[in-house]
Amino acid sequence: MATASVSDSRERELWRRLGEVNDPELDEPITEMGFVERADIIGDGGVEIDFRLPTYWCSPNFAFLMLDGVRKALDQLSWSPAYRVRLHDHMFAEEVNRGIEEGKTFGDIFAGLAGDEDIGALRETFSMKAFKRRQEAVLLNLRRQGLTDREILGMDLAAYDVARLGPGDAAKQKATYRAALVERFPARRQGDPLFVTWEGQAIPPMGLDAYLADLRAVRINMEFNGALCRGLKQTRYKELEVIDGEPTLVDFIMDRVPERSAPAT
């Protein structure tokens, strides 16, 4: 009984940690995107991960950022297991998996695959988009609670922590924006304004509508990319939905969608 309890606890912790890793472009958990195909704890406590992206030609830089996030998540597991991560059906899967088996870091593996693109700059671009998307969600929620723009923009962290944002996803959005703010501005002091631009500039109450329009454009772009990514993955792998053992309408439709092939290079 005790062994089963430990196993269940470890499995919950494993999936919780993996759920904290986001697709950097979409700011959505890789577990919800379906990229973690398998995450198993084997007999000796080791962890095996099978990872699959929506297309064969997904940018190696995107793959690096996600796999590096997976590595960091596994390093934080309380029982410090040995682990194996395998990337499947990707144009650089062989190089990545061989590098992992040889004990190379993800940084070493991808250094020769990333070309001239600056991984650090790419990571910051995605962090900026996530910051803006999370900020918009919170600002709109606070408006829906009846606060004026002046009251919202005058909030500091202390006021924010006791504020109620409403039901549903509001509590999660509140926490994720707080995390993004503290990560971006770790030296913020008590009383500093809560809502600032990515560059740290104050947002004037009279300018909030225009600022929200810019945030909305970022969100729409991210939502479009997310829908496209899910569609590509579903079309590629034809994930079946079964109800009471019978194929659903989704199965019927997806069986008739032609396979997508990688574009010619």
CATH number reported for the structural domain that contains residue 87 in this entry: 3.30.300.130
Predicted confidence at residue 81, as pLDDT, reads 95
* Residue numbers of the domain that contains 92: 2-117
Reported as a single tens digit per residue, the pLDDT across 155-183 is 999 999 998 887 778 888 999 999 999 99
Provide the β-strand partners of residue 84.
48
Which of 95-126 are b and which e, b meaning 16 or more Cβ less than 10 Å from the residue's Cβ? bbbebbeeeeebeebbeebbeeeebeebeeeb
pLDDT value of position 237: 66
Kindly state whether residues 88 and 63 are assigned to the same domain.
yes
- 125 shares its domain with 42: no
Q: Are residues 143 and 91 in the same domain?
A: no
At residue 245, the pLDDT reads 47
Which residues in the chain land under pLDDT 50? 239-265
- In this prediction the pTM is 0.78
Instruction: Tell which residue, 69, 51, 129, 60, has the closest CA to residue 92.
Output: 60
Position 258 scores a pLDDT of 42
Report the length, in residues, of the chain. 265
Task: Give CA torsion, residues 110, 113, 118, 121, to 10 deg.
Answer: -60
Q: Which of 46, 51, 9 is nearest to 33 (CA)?
A: 51
Alpha helices by DSSP H, 103-167: 106-111, 119-144, 149-153, 157-162
Residue 240 lies in a domain: no
Residue 197 host element (H or E): none
Per-residue pLDDT at 176: 94
**Would 112 be classed as within a structural domain?**
yes
Q: Given phi > 0 = left and psi -120 to 50 = alpha, else beta, which region is 10?
A: alpha
In the chain, DSSP assigns E strands to: 22-23, 28-29, 36-41, 47-52, 83-88, 242-243, 246-247
In a domain, 265, yes or no: no
pLDDT for the residue 115? 59
Q: How many Å apart are CA 13 and CA 4, to the nearest integer?
A: 14
Q: Is 253 helix (H, G, I), strand (E, B) or coil?
A: helix
Q: Which two tokens stand for residue 194?
A: 């809560």
Angle at 77 between CA 75 and CA 81, to 5 degrees: 75
Please indicate, yes or no, whether residues 30 and 134 belong to a single structural domain of this protein: no
Q: How does the average pLDDT of the chain come out, rounded?
A: 84
In the 8-state DSSP scheme, what is residue 207? G
Does a structural domain hold residue 238? no
Same domain for 99 and 42: yes
CB distance 164 to 201 below 8 Å: no
Please count the structural domains in the chain: 2
Sign of torsion over alpha carbons 121, 123, 125, 131 = negative
Kindly state whether residues 107 and 128 are assigned to the same domain.
no
Of the candidates 97, 117, 137, which is a domain's last residue?
A: 117
Assigned domain for 251 exists: no
The answer to whether the CB of 195 falls within 8 A of the CB of 139 is yes
Last residue of a domain, one of 90, 117, 144: 117
